[in-house]
Amino acid sequence: MPHAATQSLWQNLNRTPFSQGWFDAKGIRTRYLQAGERSHPPLILLHGVGGHAEAYARNLRVHGRFFDTWSIDLIGHGWTDKPDHPYEIHHYVDHVLRFMDAQGWDRARISGESLGGWVASRMAASHPDRVERVVLNTAGGSRAEPTVMQRIKSLSMRAAEDPSWEFIKARVEWLMAHPEHATDDLIACRQAIYSQPGFRQAMANAMVLQDMEVRTRNLITPEDYARIEAPALVLWTSHDPTADVSEGRRISEMIPGARFVVMQDCGHWPQWEDVETFDRLHVNFLLGRELSTALDP
């Protein structure tokens, strides 16, 4: 199997029937990558802060076999609209709900990584009627750790203020257990996004969640986690840079009936670093099957 660093985004997508475009999420022009038949159950994939839909480029082919799969750029991110105001969790939740409403979906499976997991947690706790199943993948929002918050903010703002190859590369490598998994085309993709006019302000608006006062009022409390009704999978990794495995386990123990699994030798993007394992665990959970079930070729 080729090393991940030898694979381009196009190599990941060239066997994937997919589309890219923009969708009007009730006033928010939302960029997406989509795979799968519209008759399949809907699945929304949510990236982390400073991220974009390509976070799931390696997973679209397999997920599209089972789900109407949409990886979207959240408000203020990627190529989606960037209204000039601070982005707190309720703004992201509102965006996802607008997206679902515009699609005509009463319910969807929601899977989020980092910030996306924070948004998915809030949706599952506050809008249980809209969430069929939920995956929290190295999810944020459970605590406020100043050292981690400062690291995310400094790396992100430096890359947005000066989207040079060096600074974008450092930001992407931070996500990975193995820096070589930050492929050149992924760096180039993010560099194009960060070079957009006005992106520095958009990043500043996204970084408010790394300020203690703002973060604290947006945290998911134990009472919030206890209100999650949807079947939940908390997925953590052995080398996550935001929190160790014990934090993932703690989150899972606050959610009634949640499953907990740890992916080894991965950082903050397990869906990118170990595609085969992630796809198997993720698809099986979202289908309500045993996590160890082999996926059909």
What pLDDT, in 10s, does the model give residues 133-178? 999 999 999 999 999 999 999 999 999 999 999 999 999 999 999 9
Q: Which of 275, 270, 220 is nearest to 247 (CA)?
A: 220
| Dihedral sign of CA atoms 242, 245, 247, 248 in order | positive
CA-nearest of 29, 15, 23 to 75 is: 29
Low-confidence ranges of the chain (pLDDT < 70): 1-7, 297
Amino acid at 25: A
pLDDT of residue 234: 98
Q: How many CB atoms lie within 10 A of CB 274?
A: 21
pTM higher than 0.85, yes or no? yes
pLDDT at 3: 42
H or E segment to which residue 112 belongs = strand 108-113
**Concatenated DSSP letters for 254-283?**
HSTT-EEEEETT--S-HHHHSHHHHHHHHH
> In this structure, are strands 18-24 and 29-35 parallel, antiparallel, or unpaired?
antiparallel
Domain residue ranges in the chain: 107-116+132-143+219-297, 146-218
pLDDT of residue 10: 81
Residue 240 token pair: 């996550």
User: Could you report the per-residue pLDDT of 206-224, keeping only the tens digit for each?
Assistant: 999 999 999 999 999 999 9
pLDDT at 202: 98
Do 238 and 263 meet the contact criterion of CB atoms below 8 Å apart? yes
- Please give the class, per CATH, of domain 107-116+132-143+219-297: alpha beta
Which 8-state DSSP code applies to residue 158? H
Give the 3-state secondary structure of 159-210.
HHHCCCHHHHHHHHHCCCCCHHHCCHHHHHHHHHHHCCCCHHHHHHHHHHHH
If DSSP codes are grouped into helix, strand and coil, which group holds residue 28? Answer: coil
User: What is the per-residue pLDDT for 125?
Assistant: 98
Tell me how far apart the alpha carbons of residues 70 and 186 are, in angstroms, rounded to a whole number. 19
Helix, strand, coil proportions of the chain in percent (round to 5)?
Answer: 45, 15, 40
